[in-house]
Amino acid sequence: MDKIVINGGRKLKGKVKISGAKNSALPILFASLLTDEPCIITNVPNLADINTTIAFLNFIGKKAQLNKDTVKILPFKNYNHIAPYDLVRKMRASVLVMGPLLARLKKVDVSLPGGCAIGARPIDIHLEAFKKLGVKIKVSGGYVKMSAPNGLIGAKINFRFPSVGATENIMLAAVLAKGKTIISNAAKEPEIEDLANCLNSMGAKISGAGTKTITITGVETLKGTRHKVIPDRIEAATYLIAAAITKGDICLESVCPKHIKIIIEKLKKAGLSIKEEKDKIYVKWVKDLKPQNISTDVYPKFPTDVQAQWTALMAVTNGKSGVKENVFENRFMHIPELKRFGADLAINGRTVNIKGVKELSGAPVMVSDLRAGAALVLASLAANGESIIARIYHLDRGYEFLEKKFKQLGADIKRIK
């Protein structure tokens, strides 16, 4: 398995182009199942999860392929309604196939996704909502078997928690349901708005995306579309923190500053110099940072997907700080690994208590999940000496051209077989 070797202690300088958002591209690719017309999706990052989704679309009956940053999707043969275990276990987001296939085929069998490193990640919110749309559900043989013999009927849905995936799944079903669907306590992430914009460009009737109440009026059919995916706000946040932790001076291009407002605010408060332009962010380390506590929550609060990276930064920020994880129940897998660099961290329930140390020293470490991997890369960039990072396939799921981008910024980083 590949590893990444980093010799740390170098200040990052230069510019980096932020890729399209993985967590926006995934639901948008599944949305192509809602039409038999061609769809062209651009600004798509070349990542393992994207390639898994493309393989999945082809398995279901599309003709989809990624060429550079563009996915072209054509109808190919009649769709099959099964989402097999070996596809779903590779990528939890495969559950997003439920909405479109229930809307088009009125049935779908999806292997139960199973948990992952950061938690059990149930799909009860998805299933409760589908029942409201008239879907019959039974679980057998590790599969969720769903059917809507009379088609999907619009309904009032109130989420107990603003689940991103459940909001996307219901939107992907309700656009072709009979009548109106209103989702209350919907997720408000930018990826939800991007999906709604794409669906509306296909002829859907969605309003309120990005707020806590989304209204969807079902239509008969949807057209093909050409849609450009928004920039990846989590990748952008990761590079901002990379500049901070290496005392660097970099410019992020093709980025959407308003999607990471809270990260920019926190970094400015810590003492980083940040200047925003329309699709650029200039970030420069000017003085020792002051520790900042964070507590993760749903958008627009501090994103759980940046919690591990922030912890790495606080680990080398003089003084005490606390990081609280409120969204996932087990998202501290990076803590024991960060300690191997010499970080002074103590987990206390949902909070990590951090005592900033003067410097970290390079170490061999192992990635447990995508964003934990990002935290280990950041710590390696700041640490003195060599770090060897194993199980980097987790990183390949979410960071396009990772070592190439960091090398361009002056890091001493290479991938070894």
Residues near ligand EPZ (CB under 6 A) are: 23, 26, 93, 119, 121-126, 161, 163-166, 304-305, 327-328, 370-371, 398
Is 412 within 8 Å of 6 (Cβ atoms)?
A: yes
What distance lies between CA 303 and its chain's CA centroid? 10
Of 57 and 383, nearer to ligand EPZ (C-beta) is 57
- Minimum CB distance to ligand EPZ, residue 276 (Å): 23
Minimum distance from CB of 191 to ligand EPZ (Å)?
A: 6
Which C-beta is closer to ligand EPZ: that of 119 or that of 142? 119
**Helices of type H across 116-260:** 124-132, 164-174, 190-201, 233-245
How many other CB atoms are there within 10 angstroms of residue 150's CB atom? 9
Helix, strand, coil percentages (3-state) for the chain, rounded to 5, are 35, 30, 35
Q: Of 351, 329, 347, 348, nearest to 339 (Cα)? A: 347
Per annotation, catalytic residue among 116, 198, 251, 256: 116
251 is catalytic: no
> Residue 195 Cβ, how far from ligand EPZ at the closest point, in Å?
10
Query: Closest distance between ligand EPZ and the C-beta of residue 250, in Å?
Result: 22
**CB-CB contact of 12 with 242 (8 Å):** yes
Indicate the residue among 166 and 244 with the shorter CB distance to ligand EPZ.
166
Cα distance between residue 137 and residue 141, in whole Å: 13
- 3-state per-residue secondary structure call for 197-227: HHHHHCCCEEECECECEEEEECCCCCCCEEE
Please state, in angstroms and rounded to a whole number, the distance separating the CA atoms of residues 43 and 65. Answer: 14
Residue with Cβ nearer ligand EPZ (184 or 221): 184
Q: To the nearest whole angstrom, how small is the minimum distance from the Cβ of residue 146 to ligand EPZ? A: 14
Q: Which is nearer to ligand EPZ, 130 or 285 (CB)?
A: 130
**CB-based contact 325:303 (threshold 8 Å):** no
46 SS3 class: coil
Q: Which of 198, 170, 205, 203 is nearest to 184 (CA)?
A: 170
Least distance between ligand EPZ and beta carbon 181 (Å):
17
- Contact indicator for 194, 209 with CB cutoff of 8 Å: no
**Torsion (CA) 31, 37, 42, 47 in degrees, nearest 10:** 50
Closest residue to ligand EPZ in the complex (CB): 165
**Would you say 203 and 211 are in contact if contact means Cβ atoms under 8 Å apart?**
no
**In whole angstroms, how close is the CB of 238 to ligand EPZ at the nearest point?**
11
Which one, 161 or 393, has the nearer CB to ligand EPZ?
Answer: 161
Measured from the CB atom, is 104 or 126 closer to ligand EPZ? 126
Active site amino acids: 116
